[in-house]
Amino acid sequence: MKEYFKNVPTIKYEGKDSKNPFAFKFYDAEKVIMGKKMKEHLPFAMAWWHTLCASGTDMFGRDTADKSFNTEKGTMAHAHAKVDAGFECMQKLGIEYFCFHDVDLVPEADDIKETNRRLDEITDHLLEKMKETGIKCLWGTANMFSNPRFMNGAGSTNSAEVYCFAAAQIKKALELTVKLGGKGYVFWGGREGYETLLNTDIKFEQENIARLMKMAVNYGRSIGFTGDFYIEPKPKEPMKHQYDFDAATAIGFLKQHGLDKDFKMNIEANHATLAGHTFEHELRISAINGMLGSIDANQGDYLLGWDTDEFPSDVYSATLCMYEVLKAGGLTGGFNFDAKNRRPSNTYEDMFHAFILGMDTYALGLIKAAELIEDGRIDAFIEEKYNSFTHGIGKKIVSNEATFEELAAYAEELGQTKEPQSGRQEYLNGIINSVLFR
Ligand code: XUL
Ligand code: CO
């Protein structure tokens, strides 16, 4: 078997004092935290597109990284080499899942029938490797944003013909997800949005997106897909207005169209911050609606206004994320590193450093979130904060037994409220620091 990353050994846990760049400092897969192994808390996934396809091209310059894997790019030989390289990468890191778009796997042909044939061929290879290694598919999706035909949208397109191509791509991607035993199927609405109202019928476009999703659910269930469908909210980029702006917007849309039983959220950290929210806000909104499904683990840059898809290094954010995940009882999905190296970090070694960084960051987040829960002061503060609703008139309100007349009479009898109770934000921030840095 050919080895693509010869300079990189299998990555092992060596502990926080290790200076070995090819070792985990915090991610100890077998370590038990709150009754579960780290690797069960953190089902990490490799994103096919960033790891095996993205080579550093940006708007200002071409590839800096070599992802040819000793083949000619754009050929099926390249597609097959990517499979072998991808599995070597995951095995060396102990990553047990991968995520893919259809067109990450094979070069798109001029005729969709030929593209589908190539997809059948490559997924046979994938299946073989999955059986050999025990590595699994977290989720699949269809790329309905790169091909120029989707410039006016996929589900939101003005062209019925293009709509059929979107349906055909989803149909095939669902079949492949089922073939590979994927746990989920993602809709990220890359071109589902608009630039100007002068040429857009929002209502019509949104209804058509819902129709496409309904057909996808019906078809998926008919071919044995029992997993979750996900919406991955994002507020902007590539479109000025994306319809799935944030979790609240996407959840409202799903409820409006009766899709909420089949869908959950796939929350991406960098998308959350682009929407003007914290990552943990998006996770909490999903969780309280019973829709926290999966996570695209990455981070943005507060100085840049776009989706930089960096590997996570921010332990503070990862801790608050894992706090939400633990409180929600874990994810049904996993943690997909929808993340890429910075353009000048262009070697295979950098690729592994990036994954080690991301996995260690989430391991630390998990350890610290568990400590925060055990510490109990934040929970205790929140419980105390809403204490007035546990008895007397408060209890009556939350049991839906109170009337407006009664509440108004209660207020009149008091004449004035007590001193307002402090929110104690600085005290609470201090707790986080004391747990993080002890
Ligand atoms: C784009 C993005 C996508 C989705 C899958 O911002 O996050 O890669 O995760 O289409
Ligand atoms: Co993503």
In the three-class reduction of DSSP (H, G, I as helix; E, B as strand; rest coil), residue 41 is classed as helix
Of all atoms in ligand 1, which is nearest to the CA of residue 237? 6
Question: Closest Cα partner for 190 from 220, 234, 226, 149?
Answer: 234
- pLDDT score of 215 more than 90: yes
Round to whole Å and give the CA distance between 48 and 166.
21
Round to whole Å and give the CA distance between 149 and 165.
9
- pLDDT score of 43 more than 80: yes
- pLDDT score of 161 more than 80: yes
pLDDT interval class at 274 (50, 70, 90): very high
Probe ligand 1: pick from 169, 268, 306, max atoms within 8 Å of CB?
Answer: 268
Q: What is the pLDDT of residues 300-311, one digit of tens each?
A: 999 999 999 999
The total number of residues shown for the chain amounts to: 438
Domains in the chain with CATH codes: 32-372 (3.20.20.150), 378-436 (no CATH)
**How far does the centroid of ligand 2 lie from the alpha carbon of residue 264, in Å?**
14
**How far does the centroid of ligand 1 lie from the alpha carbon of residue 12, in Å?**
29
Q: Report residue 309 as tokens.
A: 């898809």
Measured CA to CA in angstroms, residue 73 lies from 69, 98, 103, 270 at distances of 9, 21, 13, 29
Round to whole Å and give the CA distance between 185 and 179.
12
Nearest Cα residue to atom 7 of ligand 1: 338
**How far does the centroid of ligand 2 lie from the alpha carbon of residue 201, in Å?**
27
Round to whole Å and give the CA distance between 238 and 403.
49
Pocket-forming residues, ligand 1, beta carbon under 6 Å: 101, 141, 186, 188, 232, 234, 268, 296, 307, 338
* Sequence-ordered list of residues with C-beta below 8 angstroms from that of 62, at least 6 positions apart, any chain: 56
Question: Closest Cα partner for 358 from 270, 276, 233?
Answer: 270
- pLDDT score of 1 more than 90: no
Of all atoms in ligand 1, which is nearest to the CA of residue 271? 6
Of all atoms in ligand 1, which is nearest to the CA of residue 49? 8
**How far does the centroid of ligand 1 lie from the alpha carbon of residue 428, in Å?**
34
Nearest Cα residue to atom 4 of ligand 1: 188
Which is more confident, 181 or 438?
181
Round to whole Å and give the CA distance between 293 and 362.
17
Q: Report residue 376 as tokens.
A: 């109990």
Probe ligand 1: pick from 141, 236, 270, max atoms within 8 Å of CB?
Answer: 141
- pLDDT score of 195 more than 80: yes
Nearest Cα residue to atom 10 of ligand 1: 188
Round to whole Å and give the CA distance between 237 and 235.
7
Q: What is the pLDDT of residues 370-400, one digit of tens each?
A: 999 999 999 999 999 999 999 999 999 999 9
Round to whole Å and give the CA distance between 385 and 381.
6
Q: What is the pLDDT of residues 401-430, one digit of tens each?
A: 999 999 999 999 999 999 999 999 999 999
* Catalytic machinery residues: 101, 104
Q: Report residue 302 as tokens.
A: 């507060």
Probe ligand 1: pick from 139, 187, 296, 311, max atoms within 8 Å of CB?
Answer: 296
**How far does the centroid of ligand 2 lie from the alpha carbon of residue 11, in Å?**
25
- pLDDT score of 59 more than 90: yes
pLDDT of residue 338: 98
End-to-end CA distance of the chain: 46
The continuous run of DSSP H or E covering 100 comes out as strand 97-101
Round to whole Å and give the CA distance between 145 and 388.
51
pLDDT of residue 70: 97
Q: What is the pLDDT of residues 222-257, one digit of tens each?
A: 999 999 999 999 999 999 999 999 999 999 999 999
Nearest Cα residue to atom 2 of ligand 1: 188
Arithmetic mean of pLDDT over the chain: 98
Q: What is the pLDDT of residues 30-41, one digit of tens each?
A: 999 999 999 999
pLDDT of residue 261: 98
**Residue range 356-369: mean pLDDT, rounded:** 99
**Residue range 148-152: mean pLDDT, rounded:** 98
DSSP string, 159-215: -HHHHHHHHHHHHHHHHHHHHTT-SEEEE--TT-EES-GGG--HHHHHHHHHHHHHH
**How far does the centroid of ligand 1 lie from the alpha carbon of residue 351, in Å?**
19
